[in-house]
């Protein structure tokens, strides 16, 4: 994603004072040829990097587990920070996953996104609790 601009690469750099830092990643920006910290990505870029990482990890799990496919992917909010071109690119990837047999769940409050997703589980909160409605095959009009 990102039109091939970014590559994620592993780093063994440690957090300050040698603290545990988890999976060390940095971004190689193909446009500038420079590696930089993932914290320098914009909100939309971070979202796309996270999605690419999740998809890559799902593929790695499938390969390591003898072909066991993780057929469901849930994505929480993050679409609100994407520009129109990036949003289109992400939705194309998600459509391809869905067409390939994966169930893709998107948790979002973005009206434009609701208009693009025809099958929805809509949760509405109220004073007596939450109500759930399933809408299949029709998109909710943007508010």
pLDDT for position 131: 93
What does the pLDDT read at residue 77? 64
What is the end-to-end Cα distance of the chain in Å, rounded? Answer: 29
- The tens digit of pLDDT for each residue in 26-57 reads 889 899 999 988 888 877 778 778 878 887 87
Verdict on whether the full-model pTM lies above 0.95: no
Res 105 pLDDT > 60: yes
**In this predicted structure, what is the pLDDT of residue 19?**
64
- What are the angstrom distances between the C-alpha of 129 and each of 78, 81, 123? 26, 30, 10
Q: What is the predicted pLDDT for the residue at 143? A: 46
1 forms beta bridges with none
């Amino acid at each position: 994603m990102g039109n091939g601009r970014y590559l994620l690469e592993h780093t063994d750099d440690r957090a300050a004072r040698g603290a545990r830092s988890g999976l060390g990643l940095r971004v190689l920006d193909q446009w500038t040829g420079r590696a930089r910290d993932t914290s320098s990505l914009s909100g939309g870029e971070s979202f796309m990097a996270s999605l690419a990482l999740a998809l890559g990890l799902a593929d790695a799990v499938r390969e390591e587990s003898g072909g066991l496919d993780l057929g469901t992917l849930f994505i929480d909010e993050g679409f609100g920070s994407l520009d129109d071109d990036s949003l289109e690119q992400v939705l194309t990837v998600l459509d391809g996953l869905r067409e390939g047999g994966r169930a893709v769940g998107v948790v979002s409050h973005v009206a434009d996104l609701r208009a693009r997703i025809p099958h929805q589980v809509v949760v509405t909160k109220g004073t007596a609790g939450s109500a759930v409605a399933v809408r299949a095959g029709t998109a909710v009009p943007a508010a």
